[in-house]
Amino acid sequence: MQLKHGIYNIYKPAGPTSHDMVDRVRKLSGIKRVGHAGTLDPFAEGVLIVAVGREYTKQLGKFLKQDKTYRAVIHLGAESDTGDPTGNIIEVQPQLKPALKEVREILKQFKGEIEQIPPAFSAIKIKGRKAYELARKGIRLDLKPRKVRIYTIKILKYRWPYLEIETRVSSGTYIRSLAKDIGQALKTGGYLKKLIRTKIRRFNIEKSLEL
């Protein structure tokens, strides 16, 4: 496969980091100037916009602010210190397993502009250092809530303990935080078990390029 200068809709599988994918594109293209817009965690998969060549990496900023669409599986009845399957998982014994009707009502609370606290294990900078670097050292972080927008959120499947949703969100929204907050609202606990980014602007997963 030969990649030339341009902007590509790359499919990132679960496992490699977003930076790993950039390295692969760099090797395939033979071009050093390669970058991406919108990091996907290693466990996540889906659309990763990658630019090859100086002319195109300069355009990445406009994609960072675009709305994004995700499919997510939330594991209810359990919590994770990282908010995802890579962390320490703690089982929770909820008094009641919520019915589908209750889940639908709870999800309505998250539609529109909401305040969200970013995960401690994230790349947000705190005094020049990434939050996850501090969190891994056991340092307690006081991350401030910030406003994000959930344009749509709908249930694709619900079978306890798994809740699968599809959501379109504004830039800067953490689906890990959304999963945790939904779990808290349901009084069951919850963490993000699986994440697929299906769309950024005109780029969708059906037309993404597998390396």
| Range 76-90 average pLDDT | 93
Q: What confidence tens digit (pLDDT) does each residue in 14-68 have?
A: 999 999 999 999 999 999 999 999 889 999 999 999 999 999 999 999 998 899 9
CA distance 82 to 105: 26
What's the Cα-to-Cα distance from 137 to each of 59, 82, 84, 140, rounded to whole Å?
Answer: 36, 13, 18, 9
Confidence band for 120, pLDDT divided at 50, 70 and 90: low
Secondary structure element (H or E) that encloses residue 198, with its range = strand 190-200
Q: What confidence tens digit (pLDDT) does each residue in 133-163 have?
A: 544 555 555 567 889 999 999 999 999 999 9
Query: Which amino acid would we find at residue 38?
Result: G
Query: Is there a catalytic annotation at residue 67?
Result: no
Tell me what pLDDT residue 102 has: 97
Catalytic entry in 41, 67, 142, 181 = 41
CA distance 61 to 118: 21
